[in-house]
Amino acid sequence: MRISLNWGTGIAVAYTAFAAVTTGFVTFAMGRSVDLVSVDYYARSLRQNQRMEAERNTGALGRELSVEWSGARAIVLSLPSVHAASATGTITFYRPSDAAADRSLPLAVDRAGRQQIPLDTLARGRWLLQVEWSAAGRTYYFEEPVVVP
């Protein structure tokens, strides 16, 4: 018995292979989790101008704002001392690879404008430290990558 491969058979084999690969890829893609950058991604994009103004305000602070390591598993956030009494805001540890791992805590600086933040609850790897606060009638925003050992 001899199988004849003419152009019609070739087209049928090519189409069947294409359909099988496409079905396999769709099945693979549907099994992956799809995380947006944040749950309220679209609402945040509408507030982009406010964020840019807050970043400009932070840029005007210069070296008065800093993040330093304190031991192996803690960092110290330092705000300008003039903001220490009136600063209110949040500190967010954003995990680019896993939205469910994000952590937020309130900004609670001491009289010198410093806050020690333990990193014991964070998994090893890359995080983005995001600090949003308001003081003296202005809003501020700062972010810096942090690699937790």
> Which residue shows structure tokens 């945040």?
44
C-alpha to C-alpha distance for 41 and 76, rounded to whole angstroms = 29
Q: Cβ distance 132 to 141 under 8 Å?
A: yes
C-alpha to C-alpha distance for 126 and 94, rounded to whole angstroms = 9
Q: Cβ distance 84 to 111 under 8 Å?
A: yes
Q: Cβ distance 112 to 81 under 8 Å?
A: yes
Q: Which domains does the chain have, with CATH numbers?
A: 1-32 (no CATH), 41-148 (2.60.40.10)
Q: Is the whole model's pTM more than 0.85, yes or no? A: no
**Per-residue confidence in pLDDT tens, the chain, 149 aa:** 566 678 888 899 999 999 999 999 999 999 887 665 666 777 777 788 888 999 999 888 877 788 898 877 899 999 888 888 889 999 999 988 777 888 999 999 998 889 999 988 889 999 999 999 998 889 999 999 998 88
Interior/surface letters 113-139, b for 16+ CB within 10 angstroms, e for the rest: bbbebebeebeeeebebbbbbbbeeeb
In DSSP terms, 105 is beta-bridged to 91
Torsion 82-63-54-109 (CA) sign? negative
